[in-house]
Amino acid sequence: MAARAEFLDRIKREVAKTPGLFPATPAPRPANPAEAAEIVRRQIAERWPQALERFREEFERVAGVFHRVGSLAEVPNVVRGIAKEKGVSEIVCWDRAPLGLDLRPSLGAEGLTVTVAEAGQESDEARVRHRAEAARAGLGVTGCDFALAETGTLILLSGSGRPRSTSLLPDTHVAVFDRTRLLESLEQVGIMLEALHADPARSMSGAMITFITGPSRTADIELTLTRGVHGPKEVHAIFVERP
């Protein structure tokens, strides 16, 4: 019994070393999700520079690498630089529609192999093939449905042309987003997700929502952290100034 108590006390002491950044409180579900979401959009339209700076600070706090470019045309150069730094020759990415651009023309000309998860081609064979390609590739490029400022978290919705394996299997994940994806709080994230589910025309086609807060981390009972066991070892975010 003494050993058990000592063991639990040790866990409490270790956990107490990393207190939360803010208290957790429940939020009521919006009665009118679409109206609540529109209010959030108006708030972000006014406060996005502050939200972006908070996101950058928190993202870098959890070992994320932040990039800022003027337009989508500059994104391939950033991806090319990351691939060169990591010694990567194979890249997987989302479909052009959810990603916002097609990386194949520019990166293919540089000798990089770019494989795209084409929307509307989600057969069992295609899913298996993309998972194998993502596991082999050193870099995965996705869009970002929401960028949560208060924790530096990237939020991705799975669906047609946007498989989870693109962000989870390669050693390096790169997410591209603009100011329209910024949110300040987890409460706002809940509102936006409620609005997506409530509108049949915009209902999410995927089954999963992935919250990514920095590189993958895991720890043994000694709380020794190791990166990349259950996901990417490195996460980059590219912010595009002009939506």
Using alpha carbons, list the distances in angstroms from residue 145 to 36, 41, 133, 193.
Answer: 18, 14, 23, 10
- For the chain, the domains span 31-240
Please determine, for residue 185, whether its predicted confidence score (pLDDT) is greater than 70: yes
Q: What is the pLDDT of residue 203?
A: 58
- Type of residue numbered 74: E
Which pLDDT belongs to residue 198? 74
pLDDT of residue 205: 54
Distance CA 132, CA 126 (A): 10
* Contact by Cβ (8 Å): 212, 233: no
Over residues 139-165, the pLDDT tens digits come to 999 999 999 999 999 999 998 899 999
Instruction: Quote the percentage of the chain above a pLDDT of 70.
Output: 88
pLDDT of 227 reads 65
Range list of H helices, the chain? 2-15, 33-61, 75-86, 96-99, 104-108, 124-136, 165-168, 186-198
Whole-angstrom Cα distance, residue 43 to residue 183? 9
Could you tell me the pLDDT band of residue 186, with boundaries at 50, 70 and 90?
A: very high
Domain covering 31-240, topology: Rossmann fold (3.40.50)
pLDDT surpassing 60 at residue 204: no
| Contact indicator for 130, 115 with CB cutoff of 8 Å | yes
Longest dimension (CA), the chain: 66
Give the pLDDT confidence score for residue 200 in this predicted structure: 62
Select, from the ranges 60-74, 117-131, 207-221, the one with the highest average predicted confidence (pLDDT).
Answer: 60-74
- Out of 130-134, 179-183, 196-200, the most confident range is 179-183
Residue 16: how many other CB atoms lie within 10 Å: 8
For residue 49, how far is the Cα from the chain centroid? 19
Whether residue 94 contacts residue 143, with contact meaning beta carbons closer than 8 Å, is answered with yes
Can you give the pLDDT at residue 56? 98
Per-residue model confidence as pLDDT tens digits over 69-91: 999 999 999 999 999 999 999 99
CB within 8 Å of 86: residues ≥ 6 apart: 138, 139, 171, 172, 234
Residues 209, 192: Cα–Cα separation, whole Å = 13
